[in-house]
Amino acid sequence: MTEKKITSEVEELSRELKVNLPSGSLPIVIKIIALFTLLGGLSIAGSVFVDIVGESLSFLNYLLRLAVGALAILIAHGIIRKRRWAIWLYGLLVILEILSNPIAAIIPAVILVYLYFHRHLFAESFLDKFVKKLLGKLKKI
């Protein structure tokens, strides 16, 4: 498939789902990451309301699902707005996933590496400035 065909299919899917994708200045892969992160967050948060009738799960399980879903939606919003803090939050999710299921964390870890190498497309966040200051102090030691 060519990139133009993939782009048109992703844009058509986003129109059907009524999801605004980032402007054309981001690569198509990052747009797809934002779309799937948003859809994943919505499905995780929505699953809280589906299981009410089914199995009896603990309140903490529902709360964890809701928190992870909200975090994924926040990450998608940050990617769409080109904010680098979204990459940091995505990294936090990947670390949590590695701790819970290392095999399932392979694809998100690859996506994190891709986002990290394309971080120049995103605006700096307070975390970047903090890390730079911290590394500068560590170099002086």
Per-residue pLDDT of 75-134, as tens digits, reads 999 998 888 899 999 998 899 889 988 998 899 999 999 998 998 888 888 887 887 888
40 within 8 A of 15, measured Cβ to Cβ = no
Output the six-digit token pair for 104.
Answer: 């399932």
Domain of residue 36, residue span: 3-140
Buried b / exposed e across 37-56, counting CB within 10 Å, b at 16+?
bbbbbbebbeebeeeeeeee
Average pLDDT over residues 54-59: 67
Nearest to 31 by CA among 40, 42, 41, 22: 22
- What's the structural domain count of the chain? 1
